[in-house]
Structure 1
Amino acid sequence: MTIASNRGDFVRFALEQGVLRFGEFKVKSGRISPYFFNAGLFNSGLSVGRLAEFYAQALVDSGIEFDMLFGPAYKGIPLSTATATALARHPALSGRDVPFAFNRKEAKDHGEGGVLVGAPLQGKVVIIDDVITAGTSVRESVDIIRQAGAEPVAVLIALDRMERAGRDGELSEHSAVQDVQRTYGMPVVSIASLTDIMSVLEADATLAEYREAVQAYRARYGI
């Protein structure tokens, strides 16, 4: 499977699952977006299992050296768990058993205590999440990983919207993904991006009605 086909296949999978939809949606920024991506709708065993395979393939394709995964609470918890499972089955890793860990929102004051669950944070750590909006969970994750003496080496997400923040006329120079890369000096790997969504729109006649709106949105807010 080529990298391009993996990215296009993911967009089509997200459409099939109703995770990616086209229309008019008011998003967190207040903008009216012609598409909406809600990774929380990957909510069954089969869909999360397939999602994890896409995450695993994107990480393998990136060529990044890593020792373990870290999933920020809450969405990163099932993502890190499922992706570690998919990596263990990935032919390129030859049966390698990839550890993972995640954090609690509140420290536990009994039992083993603390905010961390799972394998000890050590070596080169990939942070896994669904999307990057403000970069808050990345900042918190980087702090946790570094405090443990480990090294954050990349962020792995499902979709890069390739979109600048801010109000019209006051748009930021970079996207949230670019800001994370510049701030922490590490790559953000996405299974797919807005470019891949547009490629699928161009190739699928049944989606032709949405092409112009998505193109216009990207021209206005995209990087």
Structure 2
Amino acid sequence: MPNDNSTPLAQEFVSFAVQAGVLRFGEFKTKAGRLSPYFFNAGLFDDGAKLGRLAEFYARRLIDSGLQFDMIFGPAYKGITLAAALSVELARHGRNVPFAYNRKEAKDHGEGGTLVGAKVAGRVLIVDDVISAGTSVRESIAMITAAGGTPAGVAIALDRQERATDAKGQEVPWSAVQYVSDELKLPVVAIATLQDLLQYLHAHADTPLSAYAAPVQAYRERYGI
């Protein structure tokens, strides 16, 4: 059984994700070709109530972290909705911060360019659902820096805590989150981790969810960092 070191906020978030059908259990093939016993699909935060609650979790986690930032940047596509929702939620907490996002393709009419929203400046927080390979973060850093801003950190919903793969598909001894933190020198703030998910499953031993505790634990032991 994992150590009981999960925060109440993380446990509350995992419970919410399970109830919303965003965090599912079974057998799923990941981009890296692994068979995972769980799947987290942030695209299923697909109505106002769920998106608003998700933004609340991001805001609470960021406030707890003490991470300082002047604006929010959401990389296309999932990050766009997350940045907007988080900006609204932070305003509800008395902190009104601007946000911007990018287009996948540059616009050659109107205002033009790839960036939309507030002028990118100051300390910029990147918000996304997960960090799979760090590619989106590297691209965001390049856009933010080119526009005159300074990347301040990354906020994500779930840290999978599993070993990443290189360009050849070979496992490496660090996770994508560790790569962003150690190599790109950006702090990463996650609402919850795979360890928090395990803690949640073990805490529900008297429910059908308990059947997934062993497979998730085995996956963590095989691919975890």
- Work out the CA distance in 1 between the residues paired with 2:165 and 2:154: 23
Partner SS for 2:164: coil
2:217 paired residue number = 215
- SS of residue paired to 1:173: strand
Partner residue in 2 for 1:59: 62
Q: Which consecutive unaligned segments of at least 5 residues does structure 1 have?
A: none
1:104-140 Cα distance to aligned partner (Å, 9 max, x none): 1111111111111111011111000011111111011
- C-alpha distance after superposition, 1:117-172 (max 9, x if no partner): 111011111000011111111011000111111110100011000000249xx531
Are 1:162 and 2:164 an aligned pair?
Answer: no
Segments of structure 2 that go 5 or more residues without pairing to the other structure are 1-5
Check if 1:112 corresponds to 2:111. yes
Structure 1's consecutive aligned runs of 4 or more residues displaced over 3 angstroms after TM superposition are none
Residues 177-223 of structure 1 deviation map (CA, whole Å, 9 limit, x = unaligned): 10111221111111100011011011112121111111111011001
Distance in 2 between the 1:174 and 1:103 partners? Answer: 28
State the TM-score, normalized to the length of structure 2: 0.93
After superposition, residues 117-136 of structure 1 pair within 5 angstroms as 117-136=116-135
Aligned pair 1:48/2:47, yes or no? Answer: no
Across the aligned residues of Structure 1 and Structure 2, the Cα RMSD in angstroms comes to 1.2
Q: SS of 2:172's equivalent? A: coil
- Count of matched residue positions in the alignment of Structure 1 and Structure 2: 215
1:173 aligned residue? 173
Distance in structure 2 (CA, Å) of the matches to 1:112 and 1:56:
31
Q: Partners in 1 of 2:171 and 2:134 — Cα distance?
A: 17
Deviation at 1:68, TM superposition (A): 0.5
Q: Percent identity?
A: 62
For the residues of structure 1 that align with 2:109 and 2:171, how far apart are their CA atoms? 46
